Amino acid sequence: MAQENAEKNRLIALASEQAYNAVLITDADFDGGGPFIVHCNPAFCQMTGYTREALIGRPPKILQGPDTDMEVIASLKQALTQRTFWEGSTINYRNDGQAYVVNWNVSPVFNENNELTNFVSVQQDITSHVKAEKERETLIKALNQANDPVVITDEKEHIVFVNAAFEKLTGYHKEEVLGQTPAILNSGEQDAAFYRNLWQSLEKNQPFQARFINRRKDGSRYYVEQSIAPVQDEHGRCTHYISTSWQVDDIVEREKVLYAMASEDKLTGLLNRRAGDEALATAYRRWRDEHCPLSIIICDIDHFKHVNDTYGHLAGDRVIQHIAKALKEQVRPGDPVIRWGGEEFMVVIHAPQVTAVNLAERLRNAVSVLEDDEVGRVTLSLGVAEVMPGESVEQLLGRADGALYRAKSNGRNMTMHASGQ
């Protein structure tokens, strides 16, 4: 038995000497300022700057100083006198007077007769950890005081931080979005190409900046200029993404007013020819990138020269206004209706030709029942064409114009569609 105990004690001493954490053992003598140190390992000496010889026989309170939290020490003493386990942290001081933050636990040691003989303490210098936490708290405080929203996600896009400005702008509390992805803000009003460009940039570890149309918790829409940048570790590996944004609703409203002034036909309120060219080009790019069908309808008022010559230009303008209103009422919201020329209109629709022909017939019928008090009824001729593979915008327009010409030639007040290439 004695040999077994000796081997056990040898192993315990060996483990203590080689332990990564600092280990301190004191006696259990509370008289004369004790307990007193009876053993400390090399890690403890390295942490405190004291040699083992300078520590043995002295009380651990030699490590205390002006910033040591005496409430923590009082709690420790109470646990020692009650012979219970204790854990805590405070500021201690090295041999050279330098302060450090220590976290330690103390356990009582009893012999085979259940008599208290020692206390063993395992300690760790957590100064760098506390400093990092303070820096983190300072950073979070600064971000929360920022006026603009900040979002941080991990590399899998899960939100790990939002600041107070984000909560105020979106209506979401941070508890609701942590672990979610920024897709909860997606309004659905930006196409796949937009997000494809975003991820192409981020996958190259390049920042991405654009105007986003986002959605609040209550469903309302808002605009932000948003910048998203990858955060890389020392090995160049992306670990997080940080997004900063600023609200631009006022700017967008002003831009809309200016755009309307520049793009709206003054007589009808439809898109003018310049804006119509842009709308058609945008629709063509969507057809090319997303492979969704695209058709156009070109309409022309029959015998409009006769209307102007007989009733005057004011009557002619009034007829154009009536027809523009009828056309706008028949199409889907978002489908461009354009005043393409004097008495000519165009509708751009993402649909196959058969759908566009049906719409053209509805347009023709809606106009045919209109009646002006002075001019009476007027009619439309319409040409329809769907863009073909490899076809340019100019070729598409040419085929729709050809269909319109056939409708005019065949008696007017009808719809004709273009043949394929």
Residue 8 has pLDDT above 90, yes or no: no
Out of 155, 175, 176, 343, pick the active-site residue: 343
Residues 6+ apart with CB under 8 A from 341: 273
User: Of 275, 270, 214, which is closest to residue 246 (Cα–Cα)?
Assistant: 214
Looking at residue 16, its pLDDT comes to 63
**Domain limits of the chain?**
2-126, 146-249, 264-417
Identify whether 391 is a catalytic site residue: no
For residues 159-171, give the mean pLDDT: 95
Assign a CATH topology to domain 264-417.
Answer: Alpha-Beta Plaits (3.30.70)
**Structure tokens, 315:** 């009557």
Contact 139, 114 (CB under 8 A): no
Q: Report residue 18's pLDDT band, with 50, 70 and 90 as the boundaries.
A: low
**Structure tokens, 185:** 């803000």
Contact 187, 213 (CB under 8 A): yes
d(CA 179, CA 164) in angstroms, rounded, equals: 17
For residues 373-389, give the mean pLDDT: 95
For residues 52-79, give the mean pLDDT: 93
Out of 3.30.450.20, 3.40.50.300, 3.40.30.10, 3.30.70.1230, the CATH code matching 2-126 is 3.30.450.20
d(CA 36, CA 56) in angstroms, rounded, equals: 8
Condensed to tens digits (0 to 9), the pLDDT of residues 263-294 reads 999 999 999 999 999 999 999 999 999 899 99
d(CA 241, CA 232) in angstroms, rounded, equals: 9
Out of 3.90.400.10, 3.10.20.440, 3.30.499.10, 3.30.450.20, the CATH code matching 146-249 is 3.30.450.20
Q: Report residue 420's pLDDT band, with 50, 70 and 90 as the boundaries.
A: low
Residue 9 has pLDDT above 80, yes or no: no
Minimum mean pLDDT among 11-15, 138-142, 262-266: which range?
A: 11-15
Looking at residue 5, its pLDDT comes to 45
Average pLDDT, the chain: 91
Residue 403 has pLDDT above 80, yes or no: yes
Looking at residue 249, its pLDDT comes to 92
Minimum mean pLDDT among 209-218, 257-266, 330-339, 394-403: which range?
A: 257-266
Q: Evaluate whether 146-249 and 264-417 have a shared fold.
A: no
For residues 317-330, give the mean pLDDT: 96
Query: Strand 344-349 vs strand 295-301: parallel, antiparallel, or unpaired?
Result: antiparallel
Looking at residue 1, its pLDDT comes to 47
For residues 346-355, give the mean pLDDT: 96
Would you list the DSSP string of 66-94?
Answer: TTS-HHHHHHHHHHHHTT--EEEEEEEE-
User: Of 201, 276, 274, which is closest to residue 243 (Cα–Cα)?
Assistant: 201
Looking at residue 262, its pLDDT comes to 84
Residue 174 has pLDDT above 90, yes or no: yes
Task: Report the run of H or E that residue 238 belongs to, with start and end.
Answer: strand 238-247
d(CA 331, CA 344) in angstroms, rounded, equals: 17
Looking at residue 10, its pLDDT comes to 53
